[in-house]
Structure 1
Amino acid sequence: MLAKSAFPLLLINMFLAMLGMGLVIPILPDLLKEFGAGGQAAGYLVSCFGLTQFLFSPIAGKWSDHYGRKPMILLGLFLFAVSNILAAVSADLTLLFVSRLIGGAGSAALVPSIMAYVADITSDEKRGKAMSWLGASMSSGFIIGPGAGGFLAEFGIKGPFYAAAAIGLLAMICSIKVLPESLSPQVRLMHRESKIKKENTIRQIVRSIKSRYFILLLIVFATTFGLTHFEAIFPLFVVERYGFSTREIAILITVCSFVGTFNQVVLTERLTRRFGEKRTISSMLMLSAVSLAFLLLSGNFLYVMFITMLFFTFNNILRPTINTMLSKEAGEEQGFVAGMNNAYMSLGNIFGPALAGILFDIHMNLPYLFGAFVLLASSFVTVGRLGGKSRLLSMEREM
């Protein structure tokens, strides 16, 4: 009963968290022009969201174990709304940066708590399907954000921010009234009374490097790096090289996001059941790299839409597959692993857009070539180690 009543709302909340990250992307050219900023500012504006997300994710993950998932979800939705209100009233680039920093902190509170909540209310057998739906809401929110931002900009450049703030507040009110707490008081008390010394973010990262699930976290970073490398400068790229309009960008990304999400829901479970999670991850990384490079070959609108559709589909399948494997490996460390998952994703959100902006100023093709290289290298390097480690773990369990 708990799972049936809570799960749809969790999907909506995850969608909103990712929506806020991508909402600003299609209006970046106009915003930068209004504030007199350049290409590097575009990358930094996207990256600063990931910065606070990275700093607060491990802390939020631990707090969700200590005080419950619901309080952290409510805090995340509140900060999400505040960040968008500040962005809507900003009159200079400084306040816009502040709003993105607050939004990143809100995402840090929201995302790992939702993932840990899903792990709380699902069995091992049903967790794969649940994570697939959660990944679909996560990916579609992150990808639909730019499309929605482009459409809402028709009502004014600050329109997307006002709409996001209103939706965030509505989601918070619904969560207060409808969402139950998934952790029992006894479990929360046990976590609070634990004598294990609290670690700072850097120490937690170091501990995750030594963990059995580090390769999966590394793939999370590479996947996010490649996707944000694509999105951060996509509007600037297609405007400068191919002459696309804001409306065309919004249509392109929105259509591709829906197709990519549909393909994810239909294909993810079938692919992992037939080929296994390791082979699916390997294939999706390689195909993502190839599609990213192919984006440079033509400026025809339908061609760009087709390639973008493929890229989104491969990334959408990749995310829930990785999340499922992480959840299975986490054991009793669901909160910590969810926090680390979000932290590594945040690292990708920091370095991907920032480097994309720098490379774009050097040559507009470089961000996509480098992003493809990172994804391709990840496919060859990490999957071999993941396969070896997984076989070793299977042998240990059999013994």
Structure 2
Amino acid sequence: MRIKSAFPLLLINMFLANLSMGLVIPILPELLEQFRAGGQAAGYLVSCFGLTQFLFSPIAGNLADRYGRKPLIIAGLILFSASHLLAALSWDLSLLLVSRLIGGMGSAALIPAIIAYAADITTDDQRGKAMSWSGAAMTSGFIIGPGVGGLLAEWGLKAPFHASAIVGVLAMLCSLWLLPESLKPEVRKLRLRTQQSKTNLFRQIALSVRSRYFILLLIVFTMTFGLTHFEAIFPLYVVQAYGFGTGEIAVLLTLCSLIGTFNQIVLTDRISRRFGEKKVIGAMLALSAVSLACLLVSGNYFYVMFVTMLFFTFNNILRPTMNTLLSKAAGEDQGFVAGMNNAYTSLGTIFGPLLAGILFDIDLGLPYLFGASVLLAGSIVLVRRIDGRSSPSASEAESETAFGTTG
């Protein structure tokens, strides 16, 4: 297989990596009832995935720069499959939590390597479209996960985990046989000799804070915080507040995620070219905040479906827009920047569900009000700090100008 023809396989792997994040969400009420757990356990099950994703993402990004993209992709798929097999065999909440921790490690290995691979095989002119497709696979996997989980649960509560483990093994075998390495051997050897170690997590965080793309990383955190705030308690909220059933939740999330992904593919590149990335990011954050708050207005099924579709669309457009800017700002450190992108995503995945679960026990609608406030603050405060030039267009020099000075 030629390197550029491997891109569809990359998208499938990206989809699977993020599918596992949301797979457990629609069956949470039944799982919690089976394990006699409270509402905060829902937040723990989602946020513990982000914990190991956060801890291992910078390490994986650096390893992808030093040893190549393919080994990390294969390792990630193996961990992905193992986590779902353990979840399928779990008989108490502690084993389910362990399976989610392993799944986070798999995602940490997969996502930075895939993003760096896409950057390796595209030019600056092609990268925006490639990141748009990668972003579509990433966000659609995360958003479709709950719908797929709910539909598969019709064949048994653990059926989503069995199916996901099998698909993960198949994806690993396909990648092992068909996916060529995108990082040239001479580049890997040079980096092994000259690159300073960046495997210390806190050192990498400090480097990212001083970098020219730190504001975009904060926006990545803000967007993920709002999305996971929504998803972590969505099934619990619509069940307790509006009386929705598991099947209704699965259909709603599946349809909304498909429409949102289609809108992303059609709209992202067009509106970014017309208005610039800065305006798109600010508008999508603000609109996400409004749509999140609107979920509290009515329990009508079709109204909730419409608002959810809008929320998914706005979030889907955000991700590739930021990925494009980060990739252009990264230069030769594609793996490192992709790892930090994943790390900040993981921070949002940790704190969003955790806080949502706590707030949900206080008041059913409080998580959505708080999540909307965070997204709105991101639109108002963070985007203002991006330089007036909306985005880098063709060269790395322009990228540096747009994001300020490096640390």
Normalised to the residue count of structure 2, the TM-score between the two structures is 0.96
Cα deviation for residue 10 of structure 1 reads 0.2
Cα deviation for residue 66 of structure 1 reads 1.0
Correspondences of 1:49-128 after superposition (within 5 Å): 49-128=49-128
CA contact under 8 A between 1:67 and 1:188: conserved in structure 2?
Answer: yes
Q: Please give the alpha-carbon distance, in whole angstroms, between the structure 1 residues aligned to 2:197 and 2:149.
A: 43
Structure 1 residues 54, 390: CA separation in 2 closer, same or farther (over 3 Å shift)?
same
1:105 maps to amino acid: M
Cα deviation for residue 5 of structure 1 reads 1.7
Of stretches 384-393 and 18-27 in structure 1, the one that deviates more from structure 2 is 384-393
User: Which residue does the alignment assign to 1:277?
Assistant: 277
Count of residue pairs the alignment pairs up: 398
User: Which residue does the alignment assign to 2:138?
Assistant: 138
User: Which residue does the alignment assign to 1:181?
Assistant: 181
Helix, strand or coil: the match of 1:173?
helix
CA contact under 8 A between 1:82 and 1:165: conserved in structure 2?
Answer: yes
CA contact under 8 A between 2:72 and 2:109: conserved in structure 1?
Answer: yes
User: Which residue does the alignment assign to 1:35?
Assistant: 35
Uncovered stretches (5+) of structure 1, i.e. residues with no partner: none
CA contact under 8 A between 1:228 and 1:352: conserved in structure 2?
Answer: yes
CA contact under 8 A between 1:24 and 1:149: conserved in structure 2?
Answer: yes
2:129 maps to amino acid: K
2:120 maps to amino acid: D
Structure 1 residues 302, 184: CA separation in 2 closer, same or farther (over 3 Å shift)?
same
Cα deviation for residue 396 of structure 1 reads 7.1
Cα deviation for residue 28 of structure 1 reads 0.4
Q: Please give the alpha-carbon distance, in whole angstroms, between the structure 2 residues aligned to 1:298 and 1:56.
A: 41
1:102 maps to amino acid: I
User: Which residue does the alignment assign to 1:258?
Assistant: 258
Could you give the per-residue CA deviations for residues 336-363 of structure 1, whole angstroms, max 9, x where no partner exists?
A: 1000000000000000000000000000
Correspondences of 1:333-344 after superposition (within 5 Å): 333-344=333-344
Cα deviation for residue 168 of structure 1 reads 0.2
RMSD of aligned alpha carbons: 1.5
Q: Please give the alpha-carbon distance, in whole angstroms, between the structure 1 residues aligned to 2:400 and 2:90.
A: 56
User: Which residue does the alignment assign to 1:217?
Assistant: 217
Cα deviation for residue 223 of structure 1 reads 0.3
Could you give the per-residue CA deviations for residues 278-308 of structure 1, whole angstroms, max 9, x where no partner exists?
A: 1101100000000000010000000000000
Cα deviation for residue 54 of structure 1 reads 0.1
Q: Please give the alpha-carbon distance, in whole angstroms, between the structure 2 residues aligned to 1:171 and 1:199.
A: 28
Q: Please give the alpha-carbon distance, in whole angstroms, between the structure 2 residues aligned to 1:62 and 1:199.
A: 7
CA contact under 8 A between 1:2 and 1:121: conserved in structure 2?
Answer: no
1:294 maps to amino acid: C
CA contact under 8 A between 2:225 and 2:371: conserved in structure 1?
Answer: yes
Cα deviation for residue 194 of structure 1 reads 1.8
Helix, strand or coil: the match of 1:298?
coil
Q: Please give the alpha-carbon distance, in whole angstroms, between the structure 2 residues aligned to 1:108 and 1:127.
A: 22
Correspondences of 1:147-166 after superposition (within 5 Å): 147-166=147-166
CA contact under 8 A between 1:3 and 1:122: conserved in structure 2?
Answer: no
Structure 1 residues 140, 293: CA separation in 2 closer, same or farther (over 3 Å shift)?
same
User: Which residue does the alignment assign to 2:308?
Assistant: 308
Cα deviation for residue 123 of structure 1 reads 0.2
CA contact under 8 A between 2:276 and 2:391: conserved in structure 1?
Answer: no
Q: Please give the alpha-carbon distance, in whole angstroms, between the structure 2 residues aligned to 1:197 and 1:143.
A: 35
Cα deviation for residue 190 of structure 1 reads 1.1
Helix, strand or coil: the match of 2:244?
coil
Cα deviation for residue 158 of structure 1 reads 0.1
CA contact under 8 A between 1:51 and 1:347: conserved in structure 2?
Answer: yes
1:285 maps to amino acid: L
Structure 1 residues 122, 222: CA separation in 2 closer, same or farther (over 3 Å shift)?
same
Q: Please give the alpha-carbon distance, in whole angstroms, between the structure 2 residues aligned to 1:237 and 1:146.
A: 14
Q: Does 1:24 align with 2:24?
A: yes
Cα deviation for residue 2 of structure 1 reads 3.5
Q: Please give the alpha-carbon distance, in whole angstroms, between the structure 2 residues aligned to 1:39 and 1:82.
A: 26
Runs of 4+, deviation exceeding 4 Å? 388-398
Of stretches 313-322 and 383-392 in structure 1, the one that deviates more from structure 2 is 383-392
Q: Please give the alpha-carbon distance, in whole angstroms, between the structure 2 residues aligned to 1:115 and 1:11.
A: 10
Cα deviation for residue 199 of structure 1 reads 4.4
Structure 1 residues 267, 91: CA separation in 2 closer, same or farther (over 3 Å shift)?
same
Normalised to the residue count of structure 1, the TM-score between the two structures is 0.97
2:204 maps to amino acid: Q
User: Which residue does the alignment assign to 1:200?
Assistant: 200
CA contact under 8 A between 1:293 and 1:368: conserved in structure 2?
Answer: yes
User: Which residue does the alignment assign to 2:168?
Assistant: 168
Q: Please give the alpha-carbon distance, in whole angstroms, between the structure 2 residues aligned to 1:395 and 1:233.
A: 38
User: Which residue does the alignment assign to 2:323?
Assistant: 323
Cα deviation for residue 386 of structure 1 reads 0.9
Helix, strand or coil: the match of 1:297?
coil
CA contact under 8 A between 1:79 and 1:102: conserved in structure 2?
Answer: yes
Structure 1 residues 266, 198: CA separation in 2 closer, same or farther (over 3 Å shift)?
closer
Could you give the per-residue CA deviations for residues 86-142 of structure 1, whole angstroms, max 9, x where no partner exists?
A: 000000001000000000000000000000000000000000000001111111100
Could you give the per-residue CA deviations for residues 6-65 of structure 1, whole angstroms, max 9, x where no partner exists?
A: 100000000000001100000000000000001000001100000000000000000011
Q: Please give the alpha-carbon distance, in whole angstroms, between the structure 1 residues aligned to 2:75 and 2:391.
A: 40
